[in-house]
Amino acid sequence: MRVCYVVAMVAEAKPFIERYGIKEVEGFFAPLPCRLYEGEVKGMTLNVVLNGQQNGSDLVGCEAATVATLSAIQRLKPDLIINSGTCGAFRANGAGIADVFIGNGVMFHDRRVPGDDAWGTQSLGNYAVWEGSQALAEALGLKMGKVTTGSSLDMQPCDLDMIQRHGGELKDMEGAAVGFVCSLLHTPILYVKSVTDLCDGGAETFEEFSRNLGKACEALKVANEQVIDYLTGQIRVV
């Protein structure tokens, strides 16, 4: 079995990469900026693909995630893609800082095209998640929520309206782009998301995100160890 993580930021992936001691395969995706880490963990091939950098900063957002996911699937042919990273969430849904959620759906909240027809549906996304996501969440005692993706760190009134109308809960900047590419290439996708900021908590988003990034990434590492244990049969559903 080959499992491939797609992760935007070095900060999100580093604790996990260090935990398993997996090594970078230098230049694997060159000339693209994406970076590959690979190792064997409990009989499974574990890949971590980072978006990489441009002009000195980690590439975040949907276009970079599209490039990384497409390249990862085409070159590595994984059995499962895992999009792991940080997100905003809603206190009203019971979320707290550094809570880890498994995605039970995924949508875009900032691709506004009018109508309930084919274009409106397409713009919303609503791609399928891996069919084993719920059993995994139950086995590990993790909450579930719907990932909702946009290209901005802030949340404008039009974003909140879309999120509320379509049940979005975990606000990130890559998830639906990763899910879109997986939908094109029929590759299962699992979402593991850790909360850095509360969209309805009253704090300034960037300050709250920065303050909680380390804590959320540590929680993400712990959750991903459980995910790996589950996928390699170390944790069984009772």
Residues lying near a copy of itself in the complex (CB under 8 A) are found at 31-33, 54-57, 59-64, 66-67, 70-71, 108, 110-115, 117-119, 121-123, 151-154, 156, 158, 177, 180-181, 183-186, 206
Q: Which is nearer to a copy of itself, 1 or 184 (CB)?
A: 184
For a copy of itself, the closer CB: 62 or 227: 62
CA neighbor of 67 nearest in space, from 37, 38, 31: 31
24 is catalytic: no
Buried b (16+ CB within 10 A) or exposed e, 70-87: bbbbeebebebbbbbbbb
21 Rama class: left (phi>0) / alpha (psi -120 to 50) / beta: left
Choice between 100 and 162, CB closer to a copy of itself:
162
Compare residues 40 and 207 and give the one whose CB is closer to a copy of itself. Answer: 207
Residue 225, both tokens: 């160890």
197 in active site: yes
> Quick count: other Cβ atoms within 10 Å of Cβ 24?
13
Query: Look-up: residue for tokens 């009134």?
Result: 157
SS3 at position 86:
strand
Looking at the DSSP bridge assignments, the partners of residue 58 are 53
Residues tagged active-site = 12, 197
